[in-house]
């Protein structure tokens, strides 16, 4: 049984300005270190929609070592008190024999992740959106390269809309008792996000660095690090830095299961 890992924050660094110095058009950035996420998250409002695009990484698999990584966008799951997360994305995994596997999925925590029947190949251009209206959630994933798309509509008891995220993640393996073990991160090389926007429940649409939001830049220990925001705050890249010991950190909300 596989489970996508929860957000695990370890160290909160001092707030800093984004590259280029302070600007009224850009939110202040706090840098945090996580045991499993790398990317950006925004808080400070309630969000009803998040969008983003990325290119599926070619990645690199090494014979004798397996690895796992997932690129996704989502709403919720960032706060320590969070008990839900609505997300969709793609995954790049490596077997110990050096074989690469690519897939697409969505997950509505605390429910299990579901694999999407969509062919995903390195170099494919992916566009995704997650929308929440009351208890109703719509997740859309489109492979712009092949023209195929998938849309899921579901109802959740209490979806979390307190944050929006654009993330590359190192998943975890868990058993039914809840015991989890961090999986090794695959060498995804670089994942470039673009067209990153979040819409508040008040109808305000903005980029990751929209005014009025609190912006967190999240580093996955020393294994994966996001770059500075570009294109008016709507684009950035996450770069693989190499294997390192995972940071011991508390979990932020219950994990959910996914069979791979």
Q: Does the pLDDT at position 22 exceed 60?
A: no
Give the CATH superfamily of 2-249: Peptidase G1 (2.60.120.700)
- Average pLDDT over the chain, rounded to an integer: 85
Using CA atoms, how far apart are residues 258 and 105, in angstroms rounded to an integer? 10
The values of phi and psi at residue 195, to 5°, are 50, 40
| pLDDT > 90 fraction of the chain, expressed in percent and rounded | 69
Identify the residue with better confidence: 41 or 178. 41
Which tens digits make up the pLDDT trace of 230-256? 999 999 999 999 876 544 443 333 333
Alpha carbon distance, N-terminus to C-terminus of the chain: 8
Q: Does the pLDDT at position 18 exceed 70?
A: no
How much is the average pLDDT of 139-156? 98
Q: Does the pLDDT at position 2 exceed 50?
A: no
pLDDT of residue 253: 37
Whole-number Cα distances in Å, 151 to 115, 131, 143: 12, 11, 12
Q: Would you kindly state where each structural domain of the chain is located, as residue ranges? A: 2-249
Radius of gyration of the chain (CA): 17
Identify the residue with better confidence: 27 or 194. 194
DSSP state of 230: B
Q: Does the pLDDT at position 177 exceed 90?
A: no
Using CA atoms, how far apart are residues 13 and 21, in angstroms rounded to an integer? 18
pLDDT of residue 245: 54
Closest-CA residue to 72 (of 134, 139, 149, 172): 139
Do 76 and 88 meet the contact criterion of CB atoms below 8 Å apart?
no
């Amino acid at each position: 049984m596989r489970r996508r890992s929860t957000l695990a924050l370890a160290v909160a660094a001092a707030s800093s300005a984004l590259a280029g110095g302070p600007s009224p058009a850009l939110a202040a950035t706090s840098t945090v270190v996580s045991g499993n996420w790398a990317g950006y998250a925004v808080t400070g409002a309630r969000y009803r929609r998040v969008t983003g695009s990325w290119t599926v990484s070619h990645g690199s698999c090494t014979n004798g070592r397996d690895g796992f990584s997932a690129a996704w966008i989502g709403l919720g799951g960032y706060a320590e008190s969070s008990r839900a997360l609505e997300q969709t994305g793609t995954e790049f995994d490596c077997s110990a024999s050096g074989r690469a596997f690519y897939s697409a999925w969505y997950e509505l925590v605390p429910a299990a992740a579901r694999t999407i029947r969509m062919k995903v190949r390195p170099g494919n251009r992916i566009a995704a959106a997650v929308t929440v209206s009351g208890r109703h959630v719509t997740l859309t994933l489109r492979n712009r390269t092949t023209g195929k798309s998938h849309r899921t509509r579901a109802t959740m008891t209490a979806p979390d809309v307190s944050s929006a995220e654009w993330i590359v993640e190192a998943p975890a393996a868990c058993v039914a008792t809840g015991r989890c073990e961090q999986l090794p991160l695959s060498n995804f090389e670089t994942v470039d996000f673009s067209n990153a926007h979040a819409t508040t429940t008040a109808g305000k649409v903005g980029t990751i660095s929209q005014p009025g939001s609190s912006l967190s830049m999240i580093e996955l220990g020393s294994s994966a690090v996001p770059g500075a925001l570009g294109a008016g705050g709507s684009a950035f890249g996450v770069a693989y830095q190499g294997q390192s010991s995972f940071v011991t950190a508390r979990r932020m909300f219950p994990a959910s299961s996914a069979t791979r």
